[in-house]
Homo-oligomer: A and B are copies of this chain.
Amino acid sequence: MTTLADTATPAGARGLYREGLVVPTSGHAPGFTQANLVVLPRDWAYDMLLFGQRNPQPVPLLDVTDAGSTSTALAPGADLRTDLPRYRVWRDGELVDEPSDVTDLWRDDLVSFLIGCSFSFERALLDAGVPVRNIEQERNVSMYRTNRECRPAGRLAGPLVVSMRPIPAAQVATAVQVTARMPQVHGAPVHVGSPESLGIADVDRPDFGEPVESAPGDVPVYWACGVTPQAALMDSRPPFAITHAPGHMFVTDVPDSAYRQF
């Protein structure tokens, strides 16, 4: 019998989700990397792997499993079918269900992609004294489809999706330096200021997540976002896919420091 009392450790948090706790993972197992999950049939896995290779800023692949495997090198004791608090199930590019367990849907031909997440660099920004407005306001970060296309890979194509954080003008350079040191969790911003040149018509109306308020003197700073592969799945419509539900990430055993360079 597993008795895991709290969400302070990766194994503890995953144990609670496995036992039925359904909550966003923000703030759980502090100091450990959380990851986006995309699961696809083997027939589509080559396209996804190539999409990641060609678009490493939005799709930084931290691990790719063998077909049918339910475990990952990022957390050897975890079960990918049960250890996220909530999943999304997609058929032909349409969202059809949001279960908390996908054991019944698992197949021998499924390949899991674990993808870096900006939660890791938000902690690094806070450590460097840079305010993170979405955390202050207890909101999901604002995300936008842009007018930039990812480099396509086989049947997978779609726009670059970015997350935006308002950063005080005097701290933009620090935010760039801190996140540039973490290329496996999206790295340096792709764009600073000028939302219109990214094709963003109204910063207050994000395509995903929630509006986040800027303070006077803040500049909008844009990072490549892990929602990019989900946007490509929606556009490219593979017959079957599983992902994490937004904000309900896979908590790994890897310390954030492992993805911090220098």
Which residues of A does B touch, CB under 8 Å?
45-46, 49-50, 52-54, 61, 63-64, 66, 73, 151, 154, 180, 183, 261-262
Contacts and interface: CB of A to CB of B under 8 A. Distances in A.
A52 B50 CA distance: 11
Contacts of A154: 66
A90 B64 CA distance: 28
A261 B177 CA distance: 11
A53 B64 contact: yes
A115 B52 CA distance: 16
Contacts of A183: 183, 261
Contact of A180 (B45, B151, B261): B261
Nearest to A62: B53
A262 B180 contact: yes
Contacts of A45: 46
Contacts of A61: 53
Given A46-B46, A49-B50, A73-B151, 10 more contacts: A45-B46, A49-B53, A50-B64, A53-B53, A53-B64, A54-B64, A66-B154, A180-B262, A261-B261, A262-B262
A234 B45 CA distance: 25
Contacts of A66: 154
Nearest to A152: B66
A130 to B, nearest CB: 19
A64 B45 CA distance: 15
Contacts of A63: 54
Contacts of A50: 49, 64
A49 B47 CA distance: 11
21 contacts: A45-B46, A46-B46, A46-B49, A49-B49, A49-B50, A49-B53, A50-B64, A52-B53, A53-B53, A53-B61, A53-B64, A54-B63, A54-B64, A66-B154, A73-B151, A180-B261, A180-B262, A183-B183, A183-B261, A261-B261, A262-B262
A76 to B, nearest CB: 13
A37 to B, nearest CB: 16
Nearest to A151: B73
9 nearest A-B pairs in the assembled complex, by CB-CB distance: A46-B46, A49-B49, A53-B64, A53-B61, A50-B64, A49-B50, A49-B53, A45-B46, A46-B49
A123 to B, nearest CB: 21
